[in-house]
Amino acid sequence: MLEQKLQPIVSAIGAVACYFFLIVVAMIAYEVVSRYFFNAPTIWSHELSVMLCAAAFLLGGPYVHQHRSHIIISVAAERFSPLWRSRAQVLVSLLTLVFFIVLCIATFQQAADSISFMEQSGTALNWPIPVFIKTLFASVAAFMALQTLFHVIADFKRL
């Protein structure tokens, strides 16, 4: 199956992104303790927590999409005949593909703008976090477009 080809990449994404949340827990604990007990707040905890979570939220997309587990309302489609159900599935995948292709265009433009002037966060830390997140957004959109393309092919074969 073509769809399965992406599985190792998705598994790797999941394995890495999971740790982002654990790192955030550690950073929050460090921040609270050092601020409350030692009166020494950090300048990085807040911003890096947001960055890591945003990255994990984005990477969670392909992780869920691989097994097509995004929330659907199946009451109507379940009543279709098997033939019409597979036809509806092709249409669903094609519409999803349209969404991701356009999302790619939008996010690539956004990332290119951000990279062109090395956009920084404009805070005390002032790292180029926006460049990182916007580039990641575009990459994730492109990857999900590819996943969807494979879904479309698989759905056509099932017709």
Number of chain residues interacting with another protein (CB under 8 A): 58
Are 8 and 60 in contact, with CB atoms under 8 Å apart?
Answer: no
Residue 61 engages another protein in binding (rule: CB under 8 A)? yes
Residue type, 140: V
Residue 89 engages another protein in binding (rule: CB under 8 A)? yes
CA angle at 151 for the pair 146 and 155, rounded to the nearest 5° = 150
With CB under 8 A as the contact rule, the residue among 131, 135, 137, 151 that binds another protein is: 137
Q: Which stretch binds another protein (CB under 8 A): 1-9, 31-39, 149-157?
A: 31-39
* Comparison of 74 and 116: residue with beta carbon closer to another protein: 74
Number of H helices, E strands in the chain: 4, 0
Nearest CA among 104, 153, 159, 138 for reference residue 4: 153
CB of 18 to another protein, least distance (A): 4
Residue 57 engages another protein in binding (rule: CB under 8 A)? yes
**HEC profile of 1-34:** CCHHHHHHHHHHHHHHHHHHHHHHHHHHHHHHHH
Residue 25 engages another protein in binding (rule: CB under 8 A)? yes
With CB under 8 A as the contact rule, the residue among 2, 12, 29, 40 that binds another protein is: 29
Residue 74 engages another protein in binding (rule: CB under 8 A)? yes
